[in-house]
Amino acid sequence: MNSWRIPWRATVWRPLLAHPAEAFLAILGVALGVALGLAIALINVQAVQDVSSGLRRLAGQADLVLSRPGTHLGERWYARLAMAPGVAVAAPQLRVNGILPNGRPLPVWGIDALQSAALGQPIVPPDSGHPSSLFNPLHLVLDQSALRLLHLRPGDHLILRAAGVPRRFTIITAIPDPIPGKPLAILDIAAAQWLWGENGKISQVSLRLGKGMTPEHFRSRWLTLLPPGATLRTPRDEGSVSARASLAYRTNLLVLSLVALFTGSFLVYTTLAFTAIRQRRSLAILRVLGLCEREVFVAILVQGLLLGIPGALVGVPLGILAAWLALAKMGANLGAGYFSATGTDLSAHPWLWSIFALAGIGSALLGTVWPAWECRYLPIVRLLGPGSEEEEGHAHVLSGFILLALAGGMAAMPPVRGIAYGAYSAIAVLLLAVLFLLPQGVRLCGRVAPRTELPLPRLVVDQLRGSPGRASRSLATIVVAFSLVVAMAVMVGSFRESVAGWLRDVLRADIYLQAGTGGQRLFPLATETRLCRLPGVRRCSLLRDSVLQLLPHRPPVELLARGMNPQQPGKTLQILRAATPDPTGPPPAWISEILAALGHWKPGQTIDLPIGPKGHLVRIAGIYRDYAYQQGAVTLPFSEYRRWTGHRRANGLALWLRTGVPVPRILEKIRQRFPHSSDWQIATPGEIRQRSLRIFDHSFAATYALEAVAMIIGLLGVSNGFGAQTLLRRQEFALLRCLGLRRRDIRYLLLGEAVLLSLLGVLAGLAVGLEVAFLLIERVNPQSFHWHMGIHIPWSEIFLLALALVLASTFTILWSARKILGRDTEPLHDDG
Amino acid sequence: MMAKKWQLLAILGISAQGVVLAAPLPPNILPRLPTPAATVESTHPMRFPNAFGSHPRFPLEWWYITGWLKNSGGSPIGFQLTFFRLRMAEIWANPSAFNPRQIYFAQAALGDPAIGHLLTAQRAARAGLGLAGAKRDTSRVWINRWQLCQQGQGYIASVHARRLAYHLHLFTIQPPLPEGPEGISQKGPNPVNASYYYSIPQLRVEGEIRIRNHPWQKVSGHAWLDHEWSSAYLPEGAVGWDWTGINLKNGGALMLFRMRGANGSVLWQAGTWRHASGRVQYLPGSAITMQPLRHWQSPESGNRYPVVWKIRAGSLGFTIRPLMKNQEFRATRSTGNIYWEGAVTAMRAGHSIGSGYLELTGYGERLHMGIGGKRRKPTHAGPRTILAK
């Protein structure tokens, strides 16, 4: 390295050490970016890892698992597969829900311990090597999570309601959590069938294949023979299905987390740009003494490294800590509901750590490149001359416009494997373009600013007009940060408004009832007729929801059978596109926007629904808006569903009341006439709306954290920028004092500049942010999640954010300039 | 047409739904089924062909085949196949096909001196859905695709596992041998401890076996079948037993067993000797001495088994030596017991006078298997039953 002949102390150390606070803030910014990105990446990896390793562990040594999502299988399928050639061991399971005394459901798995033990599944009590004690139908095994949840110990009793009947179980032993963090009860499969009234039913069969049989071969032989909707998957498939389902969500979160890193590189840019300016003379002298351009470039890059490396080193542990805290507090789903079964144990991922450490260093280098490049290319004479910080930037404007065009092109790119890489790159390029266009923008503002003869305002405007480059350097970080904040706010606001509007549109009944929280719970027959006969009730409608394995390699979709008028689907659903009615075709079904995109289906098309014993053809009569089911949904009239499956009972009911009938009166009557109604969940549309929006807000928790960190980094940038700037302007202030301005006047001058620049930064950020929001709403969301939304700009929220930012930024500017103001007299020199 | 089909389906669907709804939930106190207390009584002697079938009124029953095989190269290989049937002590009146009324276990082994230890495989299943069970009218017992099945003049034994597999025809040459007067084998001083027990010695075996991943090979040899059922097998104070069954070269057959107490004392011993002439001699304990000559300690379990014996049974004196020392069967995946079950040769004056199997149980801990929940105090007719023969 010494062959570079770079005087390290003069070119690298001293400029940084001269302003340790600035260097510290830049390092902090990088660290925050690294920490946030790493935390989100770690949580994502953990979530997927937990889900798939849990599935693999659960399966034991099973090669394949037969199941039929949303419904049970006949037990004869177990008998058939167990006796099939090529099968060594087959272990059946019946999964049901027990209701705890507090009304909450507890998953209960009925197992054949002999077969599960042969498969090595971690659901068999290890008790004295023999599972026979589980043969007693009132013996129950709980996992550690359930024991903790219920404050019980082996030997205790637990009253659990099975199919509505309370049963007193004895907890014979405990097992480690088969799925980390998921409370679970295990009993004998015969007992599960008996006590839950599910005789003849099983939920799944795990298979271990014998010699010479591969999962692929076995699957190809059996798949066509299985009932519709049944799947035969390897444990690895199960993991990858869940991973694929959440891929878009995880990638988007990860890309957004990089935003903070990106803001960090703007902070490094601001810091080093000013360091470079202050350093120009010494650099020029070194150039005269024989340092070549390349060496100057490298020296400045090394400054960037010196900010990036400690930033990365601090950021990585900080990120691990943040991930750990978030997992402990929120669980790995970050409130978005993609991962239902995850633990809080964070495992070590040295690879991820190093990737984010490198990304942090890289972001710092990215912020260094431009200042370094500028120093390298400026002619020595100009570098030596006084007042040399301001340079013309027409070339920059051109680059800015080229980048803008590039962003436009990228935005038009189609998604790659469900991820909107194009749109994301467009956002990054757009923000880079800001860097190039900002000086010209500031200059333009200076030019159009009204001329005034009042000395202080005039000084403020002249300052802006005279050194737009300096101003824009200070502003770069805050513009980027605010544009991202605006983009998120607009995107989340639009989404929220669309969801709220959709909820208003969809929830048209007056009272909604659910048979229970456990998905398998149903209303007794004829409940709806009895409810409908209550005085004051005008109409009532049924809902039965279950799941359906419709798309291969995807999680099951939601099947909603509801009491609806097939002629007027718009009364129940928010129809986006409808097919022309075809009375001669197959019966109608409506699919959600997401399902249409996932399955590439269009209105009028005929699809095969795996319902009932044979499956049924339906015609897609329309596509409707649905924000509730991320994996897609199908809606059918209840009458068809009943005809096809024979299921007559519903798990949801909606009631419409006669005009003028108060809701509480009906609720009171329901309570009186239906003794079981204490198990039901009864809600008004308002309550459902409230709850849904609360869940919605939870799911954007990660986004809010991101916004906050971006804002903080932006403010750090402002602080560094203005801190450096006021130092550079020491002689200017000294001159102004000599000219008779009081210290108070200088303070006013700075205040004016601060407000003006903050306003400018916020306005620029707003403009860019709206564009980014547009990209997020129109490109990223439809491409990644297949949902569309209207654009609703939450002006009041943005106004408040802008106000907060202007205040914070003004305060930051004044705070960073306090050093200058604190000194009473500054000697007036002829040079800086 | 389509509409009519739907209507039909609707009717079917609703009626099917009706059936499902009609399936009543059990009452608060779960009802049980009676468990008959069948015992071994001299007033009910064992009778054929009833003896061939399964006897589900007894809590414990097994079919046991052991034998010597030779492959085309002439190397000896021992084989064992056991099916156990256990009736649960408590049976609930659960209509579920999974209701665990009877549990079946199967243990299979091949003893190849070239490998040096047993290759074993185990299965366990509850009766139901046709996946495991036993016929009442003939010797036919199975777990999935493992089976022992009486067919024509003999039996078929099939086992398929990862490490071993065999498919053997066993031809009956001699009539069944009741292992006690009236087919009742006394197991201890208390008359309650007894079983119905017959053997079929001198079975001729033809078939094929697979050892690990090697190709199937044709084998032939001879075997011994035991079928025994009881409600109180192990006498009080006994921890296990030593048993041997030898196909004598002259066509005779000899079965000996003794029940051991915890301190190694012999609580009971008895035997049956069918001479080559066909004459059956029931040997009282006084006519038998079984003296261990050499022990082998299992490196896996630590159990110490007497594997070489000096034996006198009536007028017959000989030494039994194992085909190999390590023939320990660790059945932790089915009945939970660890025992020694191996091919042995009967030697007299340096010459083999016959070959068969030796079984040594209870050398680690008392043979037991609690069925029906909590360990209760041992009762003779109670749920505490004995496994591994």
Domain residues of chain A, as ranges? 1-58+248-389, 64-233, 391-501+693-832, 511-683
pLDDT at A78: 94
Q: What is the pLDDT of residue B13?
A: 27
- Rounded-to-integer distance, Cα B297 and Cα B310, Å: 19
Lowest mean pLDDT among A24-28, A219-223, A741-745, A815-819: A815-819
User: Which of the pair, A821 or B135, is modelled with greater confidence?
Assistant: B135
Please tell me which of the candidates A163, A188, A643 has its beta carbon nearest to residue B9: A643
pLDDT tens-digit profile of A787-811?
788 888 889 888 988 888 888 878 8
Which of A295-299, A596-600, A619-623 is predicted with the least confidence, judged by mean pLDDT? A295-299
- Cβ contacts (< 8 Å) between B371 and chain A: which residues? 132
C-alpha separations of A410 from A422, A448, A490, A772, B201 in Å? 5, 33, 21, 13, 85
- What residues in B contact A139, CB-CB < 8 Å? 373
B307 interfacial to chain A (CB closer than 8 Å): no
CB B198 within 8 A of CB B175: no
pLDDT at B255: 96
Q: Say which amino acid occupies B181.
A: P
pLDDT at A826 over 70: no
Query: Using CB atoms and an 8 Å cut-off, which of residues 418-447 of chain A contact chain B?
Result: none
What average pLDDT is seen over chain A? 80
Contact A144, A176 (CB under 8 A): yes
Asked if B333 lies within 8 A of A117 by C-beta distance, the reply is: yes
**Where is pLDDT greater, at B202 or A648?**
B202
d(CA B100, CA A193): 12
Contact residues, chain B, for A648 at CB < 8 Å: 14, 17
Separation in Å, CA B130 to CA A72, A78, A202, B104, B143: 21, 11, 16, 12, 9
Q: What is the pLDDT of residue B369?
A: 42
Residue A338 has pLDDT above 70, yes or no: no
pLDDT at residue A244 greater than cutoff 80: no
Radius of gyration, CA atoms only, chain B? 23
Confidence at residue B386, expressed as pLDDT on a 0 to 100 scale: 38
The number of domains in chain B is 1
B98 closest CB neighbour out of A117, A132, A190: A190
Range from A212-216, A428-432, A464-468, A781-785 carrying the lowest mean pLDDT: A464-468
Query: What integer pLDDT is reported at residue A708 of this predicted model?
Result: 79
Look at residue A381 in the predicted model and tell me its pLDDT: 59
Nearest to A266 by CA among A706, A708, A710, A717: A717
- Nearest CB among A117, A199, A211 relative to B162 is that of A211
Please tell me which residue, B364 or A80, carries the higher pLDDT value.
A80
Q: B11 or A25: which carries more pLDDT confidence?
A: A25
Q: How confident is the model at residue A53 (pLDDT cuts 50, 70, 90)?
A: low
B249 falls within a domain: yes
Confidence band for A20, pLDDT divided at 50, 70 and 90: confident
User: A546: closest CA among A440, A650, A664?
Assistant: A650
pLDDT digits (tens, 9 = 90+) for A748-777: 888 888 888 888 888 888 998 999 888 888
Residues 39-78 of B with CB under 8 A from A: none
Is A159 in the B-facing interface, judged by CB distances under 8 Å? no
Q: Of the candidates A138, A165, A190, which has its C-beta nearest B96's C-beta?
A: A190
Taken in order A705, A707, A710, A714, the sign of the CA dihedral is negative
Does A22 or A147 have the greater pLDDT score? Answer: A147
pLDDT at A110 over 90: yes
In this structure, chain A runs to a length of: 832
Interface contact A468, partner B, CB < 8 A: no
CB-based contact B90 A136, cutoff 8 Å? yes
Q: Is the pLDDT of residue A114 over 80?
A: yes
Of B103, B144, B332, which is closest to A82 when you measure between CB atoms?
B144
Q: If pLDDT is split at 50, 70 and 90, which confidence band does B127 have?
A: very high
Residue A79 touches chain B, beta carbons under 8 Å: yes
pLDDT digits (tens, 9 = 90+) for A476-495: 888 888 888 888 888 888 88
Which of B2, B96, B103, B366 should one mutate to test binding to chain A, selecting the residue with the greatest count of A CBs within 10 A?
B96
CB of B3 less than 8 A from some CB of A: no
**Residue A536 Rama label (left phi>0; alpha psi -120 to 50; beta):** left
Contact of A617 with chain B, judged by CB distance below 8 Å, is answered with: no
Closest-CA residue of B relative to A130 is B336
* CB atoms closer than 10 angstroms to residue A564: 21
* B38 located within any domain: no
Distance from CA of A620 to the nearest CA of B (A): 18
Strands (E) across A112-266 are located at: 139-143, 157-162, 165-175, 185-188, 201-202, 204-209, 231-233
Predicted confidence at residue B272, as pLDDT, reads 96
With contacts defined as CB-CB under 8 Å, which chain B residues touch A639?
A: none
- Whether residue B17 is predicted with pLDDT greater than 60 in this model: the reply is no
**Nearest-by-CA chain B residue for A617:** B2
**Within 10 Å of residue A678's Cβ, how many Cβ atoms?**
9
Average pLDDT of every residue of chain B: 85
Note whether B175 and B194 are within 8 A (CB): no
CATH of the domain at B254: 2.40.370.10
Q: Do the Cβ atoms of B243 and B358 come closer than 8 Å?
A: yes
If residue B291 lies in a helix (H) or strand (E), which one and from where to where? strand B288-297
Tell me the two tokens of residue B241. Answer: 């037993």
Res. B135 pLDDT band, cuts 50 70 90: very high
Average pLDDT over residues A696-701: 70
- Helices (H), ranges, A60-188: 76-83, 113-119, 144-150
Chain B residue at shortest CA distance from A120: B333
Q: Which of A196, A145, A203 is nearest to A169 (CA)?
A: A196
Query: Is A191's Cβ below 8 Å from some Cβ in B?
Result: yes
C-alpha B158/C-alpha B72 separation (Å) is 20
Q: What is the pLDDT, as a whole number, of residue B343?
A: 96
CB proximity B365 to A under 8 Å = no
Q: Is B94's CB within 8 Å of A76's CB?
A: no
Task: Judge whether residue B284 has pLDDT over 50.
Answer: yes
Most confident of B8-22, B176-190, B332-346: B176-190
Q: Least CA distance to A522: which residue of chain B?
A: B21
Strands A165-175 vs A139-143: parallel, antiparallel or unpaired: parallel
In a domain, B334, yes or no: yes
Q: Residue A729 has what pLDDT?
A: 75
Residue B195 confidence (pLDDT): 94
Q: What is the pLDDT of residue B131?
A: 93
Q: Which residues of A touch B96 (CB under 8 A)?
A: 189-191, 193-194, 199
Pairwise CA distance, residues A49 & A34, whole Å:
22
Q: How far is CA A297 from CA A390, A591, A763, A779, B370, in A?
A: 19, 59, 33, 38, 82
* pLDDT tens-digit map of B313-322: 999 999 999 9
- What pLDDT score was predicted for residue B7? 30
Which is nearest to A109 in space by CA: A158, A143, A70? A143
Helix/strand/coil for A476: helix
What does the alpha-carbon distance between residue A756 and residue A769 come to, in Å, rounded to a whole number?
Answer: 19
The C-alpha atoms of residue A311 and residue A326 are separated, in whole angstroms, by: 21
Tally of CA atoms within 13 A in the half-sphere of B274 that contains its CB: 23
- Whether omega for the bond prior to residue A468 falls within 30 degrees of 0, making it cis, is no
Question: C-alpha angle A496/A433/A258, rounded to 5°?
Answer: 55
A250-286 pLDDT, tens digit each: 777 677 777 777 778 888 888 877 777 777 777 777 7
Find the closest chain B residue to A647 by CA distance. Answer: B17
Distances (CA, A) of A530 to A293, A353, A657, A666, A679: 88, 61, 14, 13, 17
- Is the pLDDT confidence value at A831 over 70? no
Mean pLDDT of A355-361: 88
More reliable by pLDDT, A716 or B253:
B253
| Secondary structure (3-state) at A395 | helix
Nearest chain B alpha carbon to A79: B129
Note the pLDDT tens digit of each residue in B20-75.
333 578 888 899 988 877 889 989 999 989 999 999 999 999 999 999 999 988 99
Interface test with B, best of A63, A112, A114 (most B CBs within 10 A): A114
* Sign of the alpha-carbon dihedral angle for B242, B243, B249, B251: positive
Q: Per-residue pLDDT tens for A521-553?
A: 678 777 778 888 888 888 888 888 887 888 877
The answer to whether B10 contacts chain A (CB < 8 Å) is: yes
Task: Tell me what pLDDT residue A643 has.
Answer: 87
CB of A363 within 8 Å of any CB in chain B? no
Q: Nearest by CB to B25, which of A117, A165, A644?
A: A165
> A132–B14: do the CB atoms touch at under 8 Å?
no
Question: CA A527 from chain center: how many Å?
Answer: 40
CA separation for the pair B256, B318 (Å, rounded) = 13
Does residue A9 carry a pLDDT above 70?
A: yes
More confident call, A690 vs B70: B70
Sign of CA dihedral A16, A20, A26, A32: positive
Chain A contact set for B126 (CB, 8 A): 112, 114, 190
* Domain boundaries, position B320: 53-90+102-360
pLDDT in the model for residue A559:
87
Q: Are B92 and B100 in contact (CB under 8 A)?
A: no
Q: Is the pLDDT of residue B8 over 60?
A: no
Which residue blocks in A511-651 are alpha helix, DSSP H? 527-532, 593-599, 638-645
Looking at residue A30, the DSSP 8-state letter turns out to be H
Using the 8-state DSSP alphabet, how is residue A3 labeled? Answer: G
* Residues of chain B with C-beta less than 8 angstroms from the C-beta of A118: 123-124, 333
Within 8 A of A83 by CB-CB distance, chain B residues are 130-131, 144-145
Note whether B94 contacts A: Cβ–Cβ < 8 A: yes
B26 neighbourhood in chain A, CB within 8 Å: 194-195
* CB pair distance less than 8 Å for A199 and B96: yes
Report residue A219 as tokens: 């699957």
Local confidence band at A343 (pLDDT 50, 70, 90 cut-offs): very low
Contact flag A132-B90 (C-beta cutoff 8 Å) = no
Please give the residue of chain A at the shortest CA–CA distance from B370.
A132
Q: Give the DSSP letter of residue A523.
A: P
ipTM: 0.85
Instruction: Please tell me which of the candidates B6, B94, B371 has its beta carbon nearest to residue A643.
Output: B6
A520 pLDDT exceeds 70? no
Residue with tokens 């986006």: A576
The token pair at A726 is 């006021």
CA A169 to chain B, closest CA, distance in angstroms equals 12
Grade residue A57 by pLDDT with cuts at 50, 70 and 90.
low
Q: pLDDT tens for residues B338-384? A: 899 999 999 999 999 999 999 999 887 666 543 333 333 333 322 23
B122-161 residues touching A, CB cutoff 8 A: 123-126, 129-131, 144-145, 160-161
Residue A222 confidence (pLDDT) above 70: yes
Q: How far is A125 from chain B (nearest CA, A)?
A: 13
Q: Which residues in B lie closer than 8 A to residue A612 (C-beta atoms)? A: 9, 13
The two three-digit tokens of residue A455, written as one number? 């000395």
Residue carrying the six token digits 């990446």:
A41
pLDDT beyond 80 at A147: yes
Residue A91 three-state SS: strand
Please check the confidence at residue A68 and state whether its pLDDT lies above 80.
yes
Domain-located, residue B46: no
pTM of the model as a whole: 0.70
**B100 Cβ partners below 8 Å, 6+ apart?**
A135, A188, A190, B88, B91, B126
- In this predicted structure, the answer to whether residue A342 has a pLDDT above a threshold of 70 is no
Residue pLDDT, tens place only, A379-392: 665 555 554 455 55
Contact predicate A717/A812, CB 8 Å? no
Stated as kind and residue range, the H or E segment containing A491 is helix A468-506
Q: In terms of CA atoms, which chain A residue is nearest residue B18? A: A646
Q: What's the rounded Cα separation, in Å, for the pair A357 and A309?
A: 8
pLDDT of amino acid B21? 38
